[in-house]
Amino acid sequence: MNFYILTLFPEMVSAGLNTSIIGRAAGRGLLSIQTVNIRDYAFNKHQSVDDYPYGGGAGMLMQAEPVYLAYEAVAKSIRNRRREAGEEELEGRKPRVVYLSPQGAVFSQKMAEELAREEDLVFLCGHYEGIDERVLEEVVTDHVSIGDYVLTGGELPAMVMVDTISRLVPGVLHNDTSAESESFQDNLLEHPQYSRPEVWHGKRVPEVLLSGHHANIQKWKREQSILRTRERRPDLLKQCKLTEEERRLLAD
Ligand code: ADE
């Protein structure tokens, strides 16, 4: 999986994504994360990339041309790599380009699963008051928000998305099943978990988890997931497929 991040602050993105699990996966060749500094594509001697908005309004806008040139450089390198790999049917296809913006569709685990099927993903991070609409119309395929609040730029949202998508790439997590039995699987939150010691601050690990009875343990985990989802995220339960018995558990 190849991520390309178009940004005015590449050092912020690199620092955030070169460590821990994602950094190690990149080191192992499972992912590649390339940042592209939009300022490198500025076309004036001051290397400025922003200007006042026509019609007035607060702040500055990122201009279309540097963003377009940065995108073109990435699109060209993707085309070349696909050609060299003999991927003729992919070669002419434009990559998905995600623009991070509070105006986008709200990011979700489901969206992450869908995007994780792409071979290449380009993220465009805005700053100031946004980006000239014309270049967005030409290059962006997906407008995505990470939630109903406003950040100062698209870098943190891009990092959130890269992290979420990366852990779905086979081999990135040590244990491939741990991405399967976790929160948001089936729209349920994950059950509580315990490690040693058996008693801590007077609190015992639930007896069933020590029983070694696999079927009972699975049943307990599922019930705990359902109860926890009802308590913390009742909105999710509406989209969740439950058996008759599980519905009765909720009625109790
Ligand atoms: N840029 C600023 N705020 C944002 C948000 N909530 N999601 C994505 N990009 C953003």
Per run of 10 residues, the mean pLDDT along the chain (length 252 residues) is 98 92 92 97 93 95 98 97 91 94 97 97 94 98 98 98 97 72 85 98 98 98 97 94 93 86
Q: Which residue has its alpha carbon closest to ligand 1 atom 2?
A: 151
Indicate if 122 and 56 belong to the same structural domain.
yes
Give the chain's radius of gyration (CA, Å). 23
Please tell me the predicted confidence (pLDDT) of residue 177.
59
**DSSP β-ladder status, 2-7 and 32-37:** parallel
**Torsion angle of alpha carbons 152, 105, 68, 94, nearest 10°?**
150
In a domain, 47, yes or no: yes
* Residue ending a domain, choose from 110, 138, 166: 166
Give residue 79 CA to ligand 1 midpoint distance, Å.
29
Length of the chain: 252
- The DSSP annotation for 12-73 comes to HHHHHHSSHHHHHHHHTTS-EEEEEEGGGG--STT---EEPPTT--SS-EE-HHHHHHHHHH
Q: How many other C-beta atoms are found inside a 10 Å radius of the C-beta of residue 236?
A: 16
In a domain, 171, yes or no: no
Give residue 220 CA to ligand 1 midpoint distance, Å.
38
Which residue from 103, 106, 139, 105 is spatially nearest to 123, judged by alpha carbons? 139
Please tell me the predicted confidence (pLDDT) of residue 19.
83
* Residue ending a domain, choose from 166, 198, 231: 166
Indicate if 111 and 192 belong to the same structural domain.
no
Q: Which residue has its alpha carbon closest to ligand 1 atom 10?
A: 101
Among 13, 98, 100, name the best residue to mutate to test ligand 1's pocket (greatest count of ligand atoms within 8 A of Cβ): 100
Indicate if 115 and 204 belong to the same structural domain.
no
In a domain, 174, yes or no: no
Indicate if 128 and 187 belong to the same structural domain.
no
- Domain housing 191: 181-251
Which residue from 197, 178, 181, 199 is spatially nearest to 189, judged by alpha carbons? 181
In a domain, 87, yes or no: yes
In a domain, 153, yes or no: yes
Among 99, 150, 155, name the best residue to mutate to test ligand 1's pocket (greatest count of ligand atoms within 8 A of Cβ): 150
Indicate if 79 and 151 belong to the same structural domain.
yes
* Residue ending a domain, choose from 105, 137, 166: 166
Tokens of 252: 């109790």
Indicate if 111 and 188 belong to the same structural domain.
no
Tokens of 212: 């070694």
CATH of the domain at 203: 1.10.1270.20
Indicate if 12 and 60 belong to the same structural domain.
yes
* ipTM score assigned to the predicted complex: 0.98
Does ligand 1 come within 6 angstroms of the Cβ of 170?
no
Give residue 73 CA to ligand 1 midpoint distance, Å.
25
Q: Residue holding tokens 């080191």?
A: 27
Indicate if 34 and 139 belong to the same structural domain.
yes
Please tell me the predicted confidence (pLDDT) of residue 91.
81
- Cα separation, 181 vs 205, in Å, equals 20
CATH of the domain at 54: 3.40.1280.10
Find out whether 150 is annotated in a ligand binding site. Answer: yes
Count of domains observed in the chain: 2
In a domain, 176, yes or no: no
Please tell me the predicted confidence (pLDDT) of residue 185.
77
Does ligand 1 come within 6 angstroms of the Cβ of 106?
no
Please tell me the predicted confidence (pLDDT) of residue 176.
58
Please tell me the predicted confidence (pLDDT) of residue 178.
60
User: Across-strand partners of 226?
Assistant: none
Indicate if 51 and 152 belong to the same structural domain.
yes
Tokens of 19: 């460590």
Indicate if 210 and 96 belong to the same structural domain.
no
Sequence-ordered strand ranges (E) for the chain: 2-7, 32-37, 50-51, 61-62, 96-106, 120-125, 142-145, 199-200, 203-204
Please state whether the peptide bond connecting residue 197 to the residue before it is cis, i.e. omega within 30 degrees of 0: yes
Indicate if 62 and 127 belong to the same structural domain.
yes
Please tell me the predicted confidence (pLDDT) of residue 181.
62
In a domain, 175, yes or no: no
In a domain, 172, yes or no: no
Indicate if 128 and 236 belong to the same structural domain.
no
